[in-house]
Structure 1
Amino acid sequence: MKVLKNMHLAIALLLFFANAKAQKAVTTIPFEMVHGAIVLKVKINNSNKILRLLFDTGADGMALSKQLADTIGLKVTRSNNASVVGGHMQINVSDGNEVHFENGFALQNQGIAIFPQMDKGLDGIIGNTMTKRYVTKIDFNNNQLSLYEFDGYTYEKGGTIVPITVPAGLFIIPGNVEIVAGKTYAGNFVFDTGASYNLICFRPFVRQNKLLISGFQSEYQASTVSMGIASPTFNGNANSFSFANTAAIKNMPITLMAGGGQNESWNPGFDGSIGMGIISRYNFTINRKRNEIYLLPNHTYNYPMHFSLHNYLLGFNLKGELEVQSIINTANPDSIIPKGARITSINDIDSQQLLKNPKKIEEFKKLPKDKVWFKIIYP
């Protein structure tokens, strides 16, 4: 009997150490958060130029602007037709590149799309290229991206498995949008870390379901820009949104794409994008071998949602600081608070009190513009 117990103990220890070995990350790469986006620092090939790339799961691969590609000496090997939010465009591609991260890890033989222009602010994007080769885990508590081998990987406890399909290299999740109570619209949505929204519904889905005239009340108009293609949007609140095995999100800010330009004939094959307003509330793991994403609520899970207040879209960042996410109305540039500015108080109520008591936010939204004032720390 003692021999049998010792044998069981030995087997348990072997399994423990085998799992620990399997769970060891191939590499752990630090990232920074810039206006709510995940940003990685890289060098490409033999260039010494440090590039800041958006980690964008709404893109299949890597992309740079033509100007930057020329600067670092990328060689065009072929051309391709690319789909971007709102339309299509012809691009060039450079194959066989080596991408070096700041911790010394490198990805070999990478294709890089070269666009005529890129959205301002960062040097380019790095999409789902890593997820093709490794289990990819994002930890917002520690600002780390870790890569693991597929075989033997197990998830932490306490999270939710979200099944996905992966057409064209993008992660698609079924979801249900309820603009007003009692009427639900089912759709398929991209898990998109490159989108700053909570949820954006694309033009074909909006038009087909007549969402703009479904009882939706727009709080402000704006536009979404992707690789130089702009599409107008209406922004307000949805009664709820739910996807896969997660709890429904109530009274959630939502963006509906209006008609204009190429998007009237654009058919992406999915209905919208789940963006960082929702995604950043979880530490998440992408496992393409199992076709699933594992969501584990992080310290921001119960933070208030982003909210519009007169000229600005405001939201709490990962540090619990209230930040200007974007500028809604630029008609009076002299009064503009820049994107990224921290709001320490509204009407002398400390932002930390608002974090704990979000009902106060609704009270501010009912006040006229001249009755709302901010205390600000500029970026």
Structure 2
Amino acid sequence: VYLVIRANAIFALAPEVSGFIVCLGAFVAVFAASMALVHNDLKKIIAYSTLSQLGYMFVAAGLGAYWIALFHLATHAFFKALLFLGAGNVMHAMKDDLNIQNMGGLYKFMRPTAILMCIGSLALCGFYPFAGFFSKDKILEAAWSADAYFIWALLFAGAAMTTFYSIRLIMLVFFGKQKFTHHPHEAKGFALIAMSVLAVPAAIAGFFEHDFAEFVLSILPGFKASIPHGVEVILIALTLAMISAVAIGTIWTYGKGKFSQNLKNCKFYKILIAQYFIPQIYERVIVRGYAKLSEICAKCDGAIIDASVDLIARIAVKGGEGADRASNSGDLSANLRWMVLGSFILLILAFAL
């Protein structure tokens, strides 16, 4: 993302490439978020979220809103790092078990971590006044301003999915029924201090939007969404209403344990939980193919390269043995002939050099 932003002068000369970046970014934003909806690995959910948010940044960069892309990159760094550190705390407390379906009820054991991860999740969802609200909303405004309504709709849907998987993670990890038998422990104080340092900008960094813009616009080209103020307010209100409704629905559903088991029989659910079968395709096509190629290369290496080296070594050994037998035959006349020949060769080399 930073490379695209920094090389903005080059991309400005290739609008077709910038358009492709917009489409690719919107696709990644929705594609990665969709896999996070049903995944049960704590750190993979956050990792898919990172890919999704990178998609948002690429959309902004492709639309020419370079400072907005950089602003979301900066704010995202705070709350996503906060979430990853929190995931590490949970991982240690759960004895390296990352399956969120095996957790629940951790709030009473890890209240500081839970509160700090809630701050990170609210910022990721884009709730006011957290940092994600300011930066993500700017990207949606940029898409609307560029008349890229389909891209805006994809990002809007991505925001809904982000809210769902973020709140789902919090509910399954820290609330609901306890699904473990051991006694978890809170992280060390230095880990909580590090998280607290990140929680502050995750909560308030958005208020420095204008200072940030003034700082980077001395280098980056300016961009301002050309939409009426009334439309801007409506878009913001619409986004906030949507993520609020999704958050409330998710909290109620998982709080009451009413997540339908029938969904697990849904074909689309199976596709999502299988991550669109990408790992299986990667395993069968690339990993197994590479393994077969490696076996062929190993056989060629043994049959050609190793055999050639061994042949040279055998010739050298046999030659040495033959020379040794010839020079140590016990025949004094033969030894003198070899001595004279060797001296003659040395003299020739001496004069030649």
Pair member with larger Rg: 2
Task: Tell me the TM-score normalised to structure 2 length.
Answer: 0.22
Task: Tell me the TM-score normalised to structure 1 length.
Answer: 0.21
Q: Larger RCO: Structure 1 or Structure 2 (Cα < 8 Å, ≥ 6 residues apart)?
A: 2
Higher helix residue share: 2
Higher strand residue share: 1
